[in-house]
Copies of this chain bind each other. A is one copy, B any other.
Amino acid sequence: MTETAKELEAKQRYEKRMARKKAHIDEKIAQANLEKGVLLITTGNGKGKSSSGFGMVARALGHNMKVGVVQFIKGSFSTGEEAFFRRFPDEVEYHVMGDGFTWETQNRQQDIQTAEQAWQVARQMLQDERFNYILLDELNIVLKHQYLPLDKVIKDLQSRPEMQHVVVTGRGAKDELIDIADTVTEMKDVKHAFRSGIKAQKGIEL
């Protein structure tokens, strides 16, 4: 067999393999035909949980959706995502609740009160079908510390409008929440710049 014939054969094999792959994927896509508001959770100790939620805010805005954001933990710094998305007050309703949790305030009673106030805000969005996408940033942490009753949170999430998407972020997601979610990603910390002495960087962490 000549070089050219060999090459041609390899090319044809490659094309056949890729055609099978495409057919398989096309079939899987055709089977997934339900339209539904999804509950998505990002958890784990790796970087990317909140930023992924904010990336989906951008995606939703690109489809002219109405977005609600409730940040359950506010650090002592101002963040890029807040500064940016507050530019669109008609499209994004943005709430940052409380002045930080746990190691910042060191007052459990106060943290519980803040969490309850934040949930009131979230709950109103979850009952309002004008909101197409709601980001509940760091809600997992609040639930992990038992600042909010889990069963109430689950009930409110499940009673939301059918086409409403909700993303919940934060490490230590509760099993009961994972059970009722449609999509769950665990973000595993393989490596973090912080451990090499690199400060939290604007545009990346802040």
Contact = CB atoms under 8 A, between A and B. Distances in A.
Interface of A: 11, 14-15, 18-19, 21-22, 25, 28-29, 31-38, 40, 42, 44, 46-63, 65, 79-85, 102-104, 106-108, 132-133, 165, 178, 181-194, 196-204, 206
The secondary structure that dominates the A interface is mixed
B62 A52 contact: no
A80 B60 contact: yes
A55 to B, nearest CB: 3
Contacts of A181: 191
Given A182-B198, A193-B182, A194-B32, A79 B59 contact: yes
Given A11-B108, A19-B106, 19 more contacts: A18-B106, A21-B102, A21-B103, A22-B106, A32-B199, A37-B201, A38-B204, A46-B187, A48-B49, A51-B53, A51-B56, A60-B202, A62-B85, A62-B203, A133-B204, A182-B193, A186-B190, A187-B187, A188-B188
How many of these chains are in the complex?
2
Nearest to A31: B197
Contact of A34 (B33, B46, B103, B197): B197
B188 A44 contact: yes
